[in-house]
Amino acid sequence: MLLSVFYKLAIHSSFMLQKSIKYLPGIGETRAKLLQKELGISTYEDLLNHFPFRYIDRSKYYKISEIRSTNADIQLIGKITEIAEVGEGRKKRLTATFRDATGEIELVWFRNYKWIQQKLNTEDSFVIYGRPQLFNRKYTIAHPEIETLEERKKKSFLKLQPVYPSTETLVKKGFTHRVWTQIMNGLFQQTGLNFKESLPESVRKELNLVDKNTALYNIHFPQSIDLLHKAQTRLKFEELFYLQLQLLQKNIHRKKKIKGHIFENIGEYFNRFYHTILPFELTGAQKKVIKEIRKDVKSGVQMNRLLQGDVGSGKTIVAFISMLMALDNGFQASMIAPTEILAQQHYHSLKKFAEPLGINIRLLTGSTKQKERKELFDKLAGGEIQILVGTHAVLEDKVIFDNLGLAIIDEQHRFGVAQRAKMWKKNTIPPHILVMTATPIPRTLALTHYGDLDVSVIDELPPGRKPVKTIHTYSKDRLKVFHFIKSELEKGRQAYIVYPLIEESEVLDYQNLTDNYEKIKLFFENTPFKIGMVHGKMKQEEKDAEMAKFKNNETQLLVATTVIEVGVDVPNASIMLIESAERFGLSQLHQLRGRVGRGAEQSYCILMTEYKLSEEARTRMQTMVATNDGFKIAEVDLQLRGPGNILGTQQSGIMKFRLADIIKDAPLLHTARNIAYKVLKEDFLLQKPEHQNIRYFLQKQIKESGFWNLIG
C-alpha cells in the first residue's frame, strides 16, 4: 500500500522533471536544441543537475594596486578617465583608461562595442569585472563586464555568482552568467521546491546534511557561503552514496545469485608443488592471500577478487597456486596480460613450475602462428591444455575452453571492464576471476572503481630484499655515473640503462638509442664487460635472445627502451639507470625500479634528468627518492595526474562525478561507503518503508547509467 502511494508520488514529480526545457521561460526551441547539442541538457532534470563548477564572490572588490596575477577574474570599482577609438579596419578597437585611488589600467573592446561606447563616460563610477592581462608592463582587461555603480546598487544581487560549465559555442551565442541565472530562475519557478528527498532521514541526521530542496536551491542560488558548502557536501555525499550502493549491491547480488565452481579438493598438484617444488617459503602476506582465495573458490559463489601487490611482492606464485586449485578439481585456468612481453614472461615463469608437475601449459598471443593456433584451439576445447597464458588474443570468441574454472587478469588497469566481462563468458558458470595489479591503486580509487570486487593485498616483500637506493642526478654527471656502474660491474653485478621511447618517431627513437649505445660502448671499450641492446623495433626472437644473454650474464649491461618495463626478472642485476627520467610517469618509474632489488645485493636506481625541470617532474623525482612504497607513489601519482589518467580512459565512464572529487573528498567517500554498506546489510532489497526513496532513486540511476551492464 505504502509502496504504491510512494511510486505515484514519484511518478508525478518525475513526470514534471522529464519535461523538455523548451517550455521554460527564456529558452524556447532554438536554445533548447543548442543546450542539447552542446551539453546534452534536454529535460528539466538535466538542467537541475547542471551544477555550477565555481562561484565568483561578487562582494569582493580589488584595488588596482593589488593586482598581482593574470589568472583570475577580479572586480574593481573606479572611474573612466579617457576613451578612445584606435586602429584601422579589422584592428579597430575601443580603449579606455580606468582609475581608482591606487592606480590605472587599460580596458579594451575589439568588436561590437557600439553600446559600450554609448555607455562609457568620465562622470559615473563603474564596476568592472574581468581577467587582467599584462601588455607592455601594463594591466589590461579585454571585454570586461561593466556597469555603473548605480546599476549595481539597484540589483538584488547574489553575492556568490555561479559559473556554469559551458562551451565556446554557448558563450558566443550569448549564454552569459546573467542568461544562465535567468534560466535557472525560470526552472525553479516552474518546479517549485518540491524535489523528492533521496536520502533517509536517519542518514541526514547522522551526518548533519541539509535536505534535498535546500541543497538544490543553494547549489544554484547560494544564499551564503555556509549554505553553499552545506549544499555541496550534501550533493557530493549523495553522489558517492549512490555509487557505493550500486557497487555494493552488485557485489552482494552477485554473491547471492551467481553460482561459482566449487574447488573442493586440495589435491595432488597443489600438494606436490607446495611440498617438493616451491623453491622458497611463502611470505605471510602471500599465505594470507592464498587463504582468502581458497575460501572464495570453495564457497560455491563466484570469486571476483582484486589482488594488489607492489612490484616484486610475488604475485605470480600466488596466481600459480590458485591455478593449481582449479586444476586439482578438473578445471582449466587461464592468465592474461596486456602485452606480449608480459604474457611471455608469465608463460616462461609458470612453465618452470608447471612442467615438473606434468601440467600442459600453453601460450596464445597475437603472434601465435595460424597453424599452431588451430592445434591449440582443438586441445583447449578438448581439455588437454590445462593452463592457457596469453594476451587479448585469449578473449576472442573463437577461443573456447572445455571447462574454464579460473581466469587471472594481470595489470587490470590496462584492460577495460568489457574485457573482464568477456572472461566471464568463457564458461556456462562464469569462472572465478582474480584481477592482479602491480600498480597499487589508491584506496579511494579502488573504492570507486573496484568497489564491486573483494580486495586482497600483498603488503610484504619476500625476505632478504634490501630496499633499492634511489638517487636523482643530472645528465652533466653522466661520466661519474658510468664510473659507478663500472665499479659495480667489477663486483660481478649487472646493470640496465633505460631510455624513454620517443613515441612521436620510431626513427628518432631508434637513432637516440643507437647513438647512446655507441657512447656507452666507447666508455666500456677497454673493460671485459659486454653490452646488449633491446628496443621496440626488434623482432621478438631477437629480443628474446638479447634478454636471454643478459639473464645468463653473457652481457653485463642491457641498454633498452621501456620494453623492459615489465618482463625481466634478473636477480643479479643491481643497477637501473634511467636516462631522461623526467619523461617517465611515476608508475612507470616505479615499475622500472622494480626490475632491480630482486637479489640479495644492494641495488641502485639512478634517475638522470636535465637540470631544468618542471615542478611536476621535480615532484616525481623527489617522490621516487623519498619512498619505495608503491601505495604512497600511487597516491602522489593520483594527485599529480588525476584519476582518469591513472586508470586509463577505458574506465572513465564511471568516473564522471558531478561534484565529488575523489581525491579531496576521500573522507566523504569512505563515509558513503560505510553507510551504504550498513543500509544494505540491514535491508538488501531495500524493502523497508524508510528505504523506499533510496530504492526509487537507485533504480532510476541504474536504468539511466546502464551501470549493471557496464560492470557485468
Please identify, among the stretches 85-93, 312-320, 607-615, 692-700, the one whose residues bind ligand ADP according to the rule CB under 6 A. Answer: 312-320
Distances (CA, A) of 139 to 68, 98, 325, 342, 497: 10, 10, 72, 56, 50
In single-letter form, the type of residue at position 75 comes to: Q
3-class SS string, 450-480: CCCCEEEEECCCCCCCCCCEEEEEEHHHHHH
The answer to whether 95 and 117 have CB atoms below 8 angstroms apart is no
Please identify, among the stretches 236-244, 298-306, 308-316, 530-538, the one whose residues bind ligand ADP according to the rule CB under 6 A. Answer: 308-316
Task: Quote the least distance from Cβ 439 to ligand ADP, whole Å.
Answer: 11
- Could you give the angle at the alpha carbon of 370 between the alpha carbons of 368 and 374, nearest 5°? 100
User: Scanning residues 551 to 570, which ones bind ligand ADP (CB under 6 A)?
Assistant: 569
Alpha helix (H) residue ranges in 140-224: 149-154, 168-172, 177-191, 201-207, 212-220
The yes or no reply on residue 598 touching ligand ADP (CB under 6 A) is yes
Nearer to ligand ADP, 316 or 693 (CB): 316
CB-side neighbour CA atoms (13 Å) of 620: 23
Nearer to ligand ADP, 161 or 316 (CB): 316
Residue 417 phi/psi, 5° resolution?
A: -60, -35
The answer to whether 227 and 218 have CB atoms below 8 angstroms apart is yes
**Single residue of 42, 286, 334, 587 touching ligand ADP by CB under 6 A:** 286
| Helix%, strand%, coil% for the chain, nearest 5 | 50, 20, 35
In single-letter form, the type of residue at position 524 comes to: F
Please identify, among the stretches 159-167, 304-312, 400-408, 604-612, the one whose residues bind ligand ADP according to the rule CB under 6 A. Answer: 304-312
**Single residue of 130, 309, 532, 567 touching ligand ADP by CB under 6 A:** 309
Task: Quote the least distance from Cβ 317 to ligand ADP, whole Å.
Answer: 5
Please identify, among the stretches 37-45, 158-166, 307-315, 355-363, the one whose residues bind ligand ADP according to the rule CB under 6 A. Answer: 307-315
Distances (CA, A) of 39 to 42, 47, 182: 9, 10, 18
Nearer to ligand ADP, 598 or 620 (CB): 598
The yes or no reply on residue 405 touching ligand ADP (CB under 6 A) is no
The yes or no reply on residue 23 touching ligand ADP (CB under 6 A) is no
Task: Quote the least distance from Cβ 567 to ligand ADP, whole Å.
Answer: 10
User: Scanning residues 525 to 554, which ones bind ligand ADP (CB under 6 A)?
Assistant: none
Task: Quote the least distance from Cβ 311 to ligand ADP, whole Å.
Answer: 5
Nearer to ligand ADP, 335 or 489 (CB): 335
Task: Quote the least distance from Cβ 566 to ligand ADP, whole Å.
Answer: 9
Chain residue whose CB lies nearest ligand ADP: 314
Residues with Cβ within 8 Å of 552's Cβ and at least 6 positions away in sequence, in order, are: none
**Nine-digit cell string for 152:** 549595481
User: Scanning residues 317 to 376, which ones bind ligand ADP (CB under 6 A)?
Assistant: 317
The answer to whether 417 and 569 have CB atoms below 8 angstroms apart is no
Nearer to ligand ADP, 309 or 405 (CB): 309
Task: Quote the least distance from Cβ 351 to ligand ADP, whole Å.
Answer: 13
Residue 707 phi/psi, 5° resolution?
A: -60, -45
Nearest CA-CA partner of 328 in 388, 264, 382: 264
Residues binding ligand ADP: number (CB under 6 A): 16
Task: Quote the least distance from Cβ 585 to ligand ADP, whole Å.
Answer: 18
The yes or no reply on residue 313 touching ligand ADP (CB under 6 A) is yes
Task: Quote the least distance from Cβ 462 to ligand ADP, whole Å.
Answer: 3
The answer to whether 592 and 565 have CB atoms below 8 angstroms apart is yes
Please identify, among the stretches 131-139, 149-157, 305-313, 525-533, the one whose residues bind ligand ADP according to the rule CB under 6 A. Answer: 305-313
Nearer to ligand ADP, 509 or 637 (CB): 637
Q: CA–CA separation, 41 vs 18, rounded Å? A: 11
Paired residues of 404 in beta bridges: 332
Task: Quote the least distance from Cβ 659 to ligand ADP, whole Å.
Answer: 37
Please identify, among the stretches 163-171, 290-298, 310-318, 582-590, the one whose residues bind ligand ADP according to the rule CB under 6 A. Answer: 310-318
Task: Quote the least distance from Cβ 309 to ligand ADP, whole Å.
Answer: 5
The answer to whether 388 and 380 have CB atoms below 8 angstroms apart is yes
Residue located via cell numbers 589518467: 645
**Single residue of 316, 344, 561, 562 touching ligand ADP by CB under 6 A:** 316
Paired residues of 433 in beta bridges: 304, 407
Task: Quote the least distance from Cβ 610 to ligand ADP, whole Å.
Answer: 30
**Reduced to 3 states, what is the DSSP secondary structure of residue 688?**
coil
The yes or no reply on residue 438 touching ligand ADP (CB under 6 A) is yes
In single-letter form, the type of residue at position 687 comes to: Q
CA dihedral 668, 673, 675, 678 (to 10 degrees): -170
Nearer to ligand ADP, 311 or 675 (CB): 311
Nearer to ligand ADP, 104 or 569 (CB): 569
Nearer to ligand ADP, 308 or 332 (CB): 308
**Reduced to 3 states, what is the DSSP secondary structure of residue 665?**
coil
The answer to whether 589 and 607 have CB atoms below 8 angstroms apart is yes
Nearer to ligand ADP, 233 or 437 (CB): 437
Task: Quote the least distance from Cβ 207 to ligand ADP, whole Å.
Answer: 39
Please identify, among the stretches 14-22, 53-61, 72-80, 314-322, the one whose residues bind ligand ADP according to the rule CB under 6 A. Answer: 314-322
| Cβ atoms within 10 Å of 557's Cβ, excluding its own | 27
Residues with Cβ within 8 Å of 701's Cβ and at least 6 positions away in sequence, in order, are: 242, 246, 707
Task: Quote the least distance from Cβ 276 to ligand ADP, whole Å.
Answer: 16
The answer to whether 144 and 109 have CB atoms below 8 angstroms apart is no
Nearer to ligand ADP, 203 or 461 (CB): 461
Residue 533 phi/psi, 5° resolution?
A: -145, 135
Q: Whats the size of the chain, residue-wise?
A: 712
Task: Quote the least distance from Cβ 387 to ligand ADP, whole Å.
Answer: 16
Task: Label residue 158 left, alpha or beta by phi (over 0 means left) and psi (-120 to 50 means alpha).
Answer: beta
The DSSP code for 266 is: -
Task: Quote the least distance from Cβ 625 to ligand ADP, whole Å.
Answer: 21
User: Scanning residues 440 to 499, which ones bind ligand ADP (CB under 6 A)?
Assistant: 462
Residue 222 phi/psi, 5° resolution?
A: -60, 125
The yes or no reply on residue 437 touching ligand ADP (CB under 6 A) is no
Residue 197 phi/psi, 5° resolution?
A: -65, 135
Task: Quote the least distance from Cβ 318 to ligand ADP, whole Å.
Answer: 8
The yes or no reply on residue 601 touching ligand ADP (CB under 6 A) is no
**Single residue of 312, 390, 405, 630 touching ligand ADP by CB under 6 A:** 312
The yes or no reply on residue 282 touching ligand ADP (CB under 6 A) is yes
Site string (242-281) toward ligand ADP, x via CB under 6 A: --------------------------------------x-
The yes or no reply on residue 591 touching ligand ADP (CB under 6 A) is no
The answer to whether 624 and 470 have CB atoms below 8 angstroms apart is yes
Q: Which residues bind ligand ADP (CB under 6 A)?
A: 280, 282-283, 286, 309, 311-317, 438, 462, 569, 598
